Amino acid sequence: MARTLESDREIHAPRGTVRTCRSWGTEAALRLLMNNLDPEVARDPHHLIVYGGRGKAARDWESYDRIVAALTTLSDEETLLVQSGKPVGIFPTHSDAPRVLIANALVVPRWATDEVFWDLESRGLTMFGQMTAGSWVYIGTQGILQGTYETLASLARIEFGGQDLAGRWMLTSGLGEMGGAQPLAITLLGGVGLIVDVDPRALARRLGHRYLDVEAGSLDEALELVRGAVRDRKPLSVGLCANAADIYPELVRRGARPDIVSDQTAAHDIRVGYIPQGMTVEDADRARASDLPAYLLRVKASIAVEAQAILELIATGSKAFDYGNNFRTQARDAGVDRAFDIAGYVPKYIRPLFAVGSGPFRWLALSGDPEDIRRIDRMILSEFSSNEHLCRWIRLASERVKFQGLPARICYMGYGERERFGHLVNALVHDEEVAAPIAIGRDHHDTGSVASPYRETEAMRDGSDAIADWPILNALLNVASGATWVSVHHGGGVGIGNSIHAGLVIVADGTAAAERRIGRALHNDPGIGVARHADAGYPESQKIARNSRFRVP
């Protein structure tokens, strides 16, 4: 029987305090799965695609329906296993065990190529789960917004000696599910952005969600707006509907020098994530269907043109970085020998945060009531007032971030802070200061949960970039700690063959049992990140490890 890969149904997570499942743990899994496919959240929900090229929430619609049915009957003495988006068994466990265990896109290394994987996927045998699509904790553009904000804030400190980007401008491309966060992150830090995207629908969406300020009708108009805002030190994001491979070289030709340059197209999946020069999105769809090899050659040629322009901008003084979308690898494969002269953003700007156990941490209001998130915002501003950087972000997010789907918030929190936060949130639920339990999770892009040599673990101090034991240990530890669900994925962020990563979600339902699980999971999860970096020889990590609750043998 043919699989159903397309449906016109519209999915929205339930709201309120009435459960459709037997516990809040399984109710949270159900609501977050559905939230991933909310039209406000997902890129292409009719095909179960959430973000990042073809990152999906479930393998096909039959699998989705079976997962939903399983969650609604699952007891607190059972665990559902999901194999690449397909439910494959419900096993007897115990109340402190995860309610769901997920493995996505895992392929034996010798066969972990695009050609093999996507052939297996086309035959219905696997699914690409990206990072938070197939682990059911994607929260829309906000999910990447704070990480982009942290990256640019670190860049401002390291490259320019300041706390913001006032009076500086950034050239970048991509306004999809990940890249769409860039314009708002730039303006939250007081900077000016010129963001290029070939898809007019992407620009319209970001304008509608207030992530993008204005759209220019031409490059001349865009540069005029950028120069005026830089001169006036006024935050502004300018969108331009064009191809980055056309615009970047043109800026070089004109002698325009942005302070910062990057790219956040979905270049990790060049079949659908990067449109070549001379084509619209619709042209690309037709070319891809009629002659894929010829189409891919055009894609690679365009990536090479853009990468060469970025190298020329670096030579003029621009600060450029690869934002983890495998752009440099694609450019090198296309013949740009110096592609890796473009710095990776993690070793350059984020590693100091990872080394001390700090990374992207998020929570969702299962009630669907935005006031629950606002109540937690107020708690953070009170209880974490000594962390001014965190509080500044929370204030900005509360003023500027539009919720997509279930109300949610994200921030960078470190070792010790996450556990304390979890206990405080559990107390709010217990005391009925929020309407319903809170699901607490994180990105897979985190301090100790990923092996990705072209992104999170690029240029590790001890050369352990490709060691993938750590994300597996992270997942195993989170299972032992009692997380509500745990997932292990392959390829998210940078594509098949390039990463292994793990995620968790834990539900604060106000109970004493949740309090115990939070105390284990939200201590151990960032703790293994500290241990991973201590083992790699980072002195700041070793110092924390010596004074931690966990022990280093």
Instruction: Please name each of the domains of the chain with its CATH number.
Output: 164-341 (3.40.50.10730)
49-51 and 55-56 strand pairing: antiparallel
The yes-or-no answer on residue 411 being catalytic is: yes
In our burial notation (b when 16+ CB lie closer than 10 A, e otherwise), range 325-342 reads bbbbbbbbebebeebeeb
Mention every residue, 6+ apart, whose C-beta is less than 8 A from residue 4.
Answer: 60, 61, 62
Tens digit of pLDDT for each residue in 415-468?
Answer: 999 999 999 999 999 999 999 999 999 999 999 999 999 999 999 999 999 999
Question: In Å, what is the CA distance from 25 to each residue of 31, 34, 326, 418?
Answer: 10, 15, 35, 19
Mention every residue, 6+ apart, whose C-beta is less than 8 A from residue 116.
Answer: 107
Instruction: Please give the mean pLDDT across all residues of the chain.
Output: 96
Q: How confident is the model at residue 236 (pLDDT cuts 50, 70, 90)?
A: very high
pLDDT beyond 90 at 278: yes
Tens digit of pLDDT for each residue in 142-196?
Answer: 888 888 999 999 999 999 999 899 999 999 999 987 788 899 999 999 999 999 9
Alpha-carbon gap, residue 465 to 488, rounded angstroms: 18
The reported pLDDT for the residue numbered 1 is 54
Tens digit of pLDDT for each residue in 362-409?
Answer: 999 999 999 999 999 999 999 999 999 999 999 999 998 889 999 999
Q: Which of 86, 96, 78 is nearest to 479 (CA)?
A: 96
pLDDT beyond 90 at 21: yes
Tens digit of pLDDT for each residue in 60-110?
Answer: 999 999 999 999 999 999 999 999 999 999 999 999 999 999 999 999 999
Catalytic, out of 21, 241, 391, 411: 411
